[in-house]
């Protein structure tokens, strides 16, 4: 118990902060912060597996998040029959062409020894394959995008409950990680960072511009929800009764019957959105707890010890007969798959998929700040980092506003400098993130909750 004291203290402070937001701002804001904290925590767990356990740098988190989001769209949206009949055949043909191309390349790679001719022939196959696919898919793509472009204009998905997409998102992200890992894992640390960053940009470019698959920048809105809708809740009896019971003390003070009804209606509307958010919190909490148990088990298993050995001394681990390349690939896939889950969760919560909103600042570098600040190699630390950094990210604007007003209290409100500062309050979050990261890296390089390994 004693040795976990700092963990408990850190988490209590975090929860207290969120509760304070609930009391002083509103429970709605507090819960939306809490939900996004949970999603961030899942992302940081993924990044922490790669960086903390194995020392692999992955700056492509944005790409895996977006793929998870794509999974949510492809799973939950109903299929667009017209689009399938218009261009489905061409798309399927192209898919077969891609598979055939990959198989041919594999065959060549296996069958022939490394030589210049082999390299060139593979290049020729890839280029001609891309051209062939373009020509065969183009009419199909045009036909699909022409089907009711204002509402659909894409193939749609499978029409399954969106919860499934959390698993599918993990597979999507893991699949991409497999390809990226095969290609890039041999690189040195900083090259790997740059390569993964650029690959994630390519993924985003594809998602943004392949309208037949994702609707691109036209966004997909109104995704199905695993939680009830606010509007439905507001008309259900049991929910109204529940709200009435919760607020009975407050309601009894109002004697006028119509006033009382109006207050109740107001409370029901507020309560419904809080209730929906609570549903999400429950779902997300389950995911976080399952992942936490699994990652903790993995960390203290022989496999976890092997990963740390590889991280701390690759050559020695290699000499002991551990397959470093294979383990690196495995952990790269696992971590990315977890990020994919988070991506699907994020889109599930928002109910919309906006490819234009995936930016490296928010989805890659911020997650890294969370991992470093929280404590790499320590799952509790990573989750705490997700909570603390996201909390600061959201609440930095009010904090900055308070500080500006505090320090410029003597200056009149019309002073141009003060006006300018108050207008640029939203950008202070970057400043706080940057300073936080720099300070932590300088004075507590292992994070708030450092990695602690005790051999049992």
Footprint of other proteins on this chain (CB under 8 A)? Answer: 57, 119, 183-184, 187-191, 193-195, 197-199, 201-202, 205-206, 208-209, 361, 365, 368-369, 372, 421, 423-424, 427-431, 433-435, 437-438, 441-442, 445
Cα separation, 419 vs 278, whole angstroms: 38
The C-alpha angle with vertex 54 and arms to 359 and 44, in degrees rounded to 5, equals 35
Contact (Cβ atoms closer than 8 angstroms) between residue 90 and residue 141: yes
Yes or no: say if 63 and 343 are a contact pair by the CB < 8 Å rule: no
Per-position DSSP letters for 82-102, written without gaps between them: HHHHHHHHHHHHHHHHHHHHH
Q: Minimum CB separation from other proteins for residue 212, in Å?
A: 13
Nearer to other proteins, 9 or 438 (CB): 438
C-beta of 193 vs 388, nearer to other proteins: 193
Judged by beta carbon, residue 175 or residue 360, the one nearer other proteins is 360
| Cβ at position 134, least distance to other proteins in Å | 9
Shortest Å, Cβ 220 to other proteins: 18
- The partner residues of 220 in beta bridges, in order of sequence, read 353
Query: What's the alpha-carbon Rg for the chain, to the nearest Å?
Result: 25
Nearest approach in angstroms of CB 107 to other proteins is 20
Per-residue exposure over 248-272, b if at least 16 CB sit within 10 Å of its own CB, e if not: eeebeeeeeeeebeebbeebbeebb
Q: Which is nearer to other proteins, 126 or 290 (CB)?
A: 126
- Dihedral sign for Cα atoms in the order 219, 131, 194, 177: positive
Q: Distance between CA atoms of 362 and 66, rounded to whole angstroms?
A: 12
CA distance 349 to 231: 17
**Complex with other proteins: residue 131 or 293, whichever CB lies closer:** 131
For 215, 247, 387, 408, the CA distances from 390, given in Å and listed in that order, are 29, 31, 5, 27
The distance of closest approach from Cβ of residue 205 to other proteins in the complex, given in angstroms and rounded to an integer, is 5
Please say which residue, 248 or 416, places its beta carbon nearer to other proteins.
416
Contact call for residues 239 and 275 (beta carbons, < 8 A):
yes
Closest approach of other proteins to the CB of residue 201, in Å: 6
Phi and psi (nearest 5°) for 220?
-110, 120
Closest CB 398 distance from other proteins, rounded Å: 16
Please say which residue, 8 or 361, places its beta carbon nearer to other proteins.
Answer: 361
List CB contacts of 405: < 8 A, sequence separation 6 or more.
Answer: none
Which residue lies nearer to other proteins by CB, 242 or 437? Answer: 437
DSSP 79: P
Give the angle subtended at the CA of 138 by the CAs of 133 and 142, to the nearest 5°. 155
Closer of 242 and 432 to other proteins (Cβ): 432
């Amino acid at each position: 118990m004693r040795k976990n004291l700092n963990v408990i203290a850190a988490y209590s402070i975090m929860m207290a902060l969120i509760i304070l937001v609930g009391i002083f701002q509103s429970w709605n804001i507090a819960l939306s912060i809490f939900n996004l904290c949970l999603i961030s925590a899942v992302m940081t767990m993924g990044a922490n597996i790669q960086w903390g356990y194995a020392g692999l740098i992955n700056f492509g988190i944005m790409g895996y998040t977006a793929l998870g989001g794509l999974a949510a769209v492809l799973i939950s949206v109903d299929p667009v029959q017209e689009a399938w009949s218009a261009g489905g055949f061409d798309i399927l043909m192209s898919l077969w062409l891609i598979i055939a191309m990959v198989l041919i390349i594999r065959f060549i790679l296996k069958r022939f020894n490394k030589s210049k001719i082999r390299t060139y022939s593979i290049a020729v196959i890839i280029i001609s394959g891309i051209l062939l696919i373009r020509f065969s898919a183009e009419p199909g793509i045009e036909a699909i995008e022409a089907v009711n472009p204002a509402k659909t204009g894409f193939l749609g998905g499978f029409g399954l409950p969106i919860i499934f997409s959390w698993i599918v998102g993990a597979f999507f992200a893991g699949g991409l990680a497999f390809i990226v890992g095969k290609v890039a894992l041999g690189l040195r640390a900083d090259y790997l960072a740059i390569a993964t960053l650029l690959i994630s940009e390519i993924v985003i470019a594809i998602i943004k511009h392949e309208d037949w698959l994702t609707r691109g920048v036209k966004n997909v809105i109104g995704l199905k929800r695993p939680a009830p809708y606010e509007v439905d809740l507001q008309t259900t009896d049991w929910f109204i009764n529940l709200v009435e019971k919760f607020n009975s003390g407050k309601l009894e003070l109002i004697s006028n019957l119509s006033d009382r009804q109006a207050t109740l209606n107001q409370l029901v509307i507020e309560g419904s959105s809080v209730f929906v958010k609570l549903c999400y919190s429950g779902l997300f909490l389950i995911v976080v707890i399952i992942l936490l148990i699994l990652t903790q088990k993995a960390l203290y298993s022989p496999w976890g010890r092997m990963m740390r050995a590889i991280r701390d001394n690759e050559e020695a681990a290699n000499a002991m007969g551990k397959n470093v390349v294979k383990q690196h690939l495995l952990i790269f896939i696992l971590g990315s798959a977890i990020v994919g889950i988070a991506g699907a969760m994020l889109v599930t919560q928002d109910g919309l998929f906006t490819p234009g909103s995936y930016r490296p600042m928010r989805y890659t570098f911020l997650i890294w700040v969370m991992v470093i600040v929280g404590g790499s190699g320590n799952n509790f630390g990573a989750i705490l980092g997700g909570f603390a950094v996201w909390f600061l990210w959201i609440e930095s604007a009010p904090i900055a506003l308070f500080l500006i007003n505090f320090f410029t209290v003597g200056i009149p409100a019309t002073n141009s400098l003060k006006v300018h500062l108050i207008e640029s309050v939203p950008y202070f979050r970057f400043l706080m993130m940057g300073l936080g990261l720099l300070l932590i890296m300088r004075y507590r390089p292992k994070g708030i909750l450092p990695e602690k390994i005790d051999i049992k």
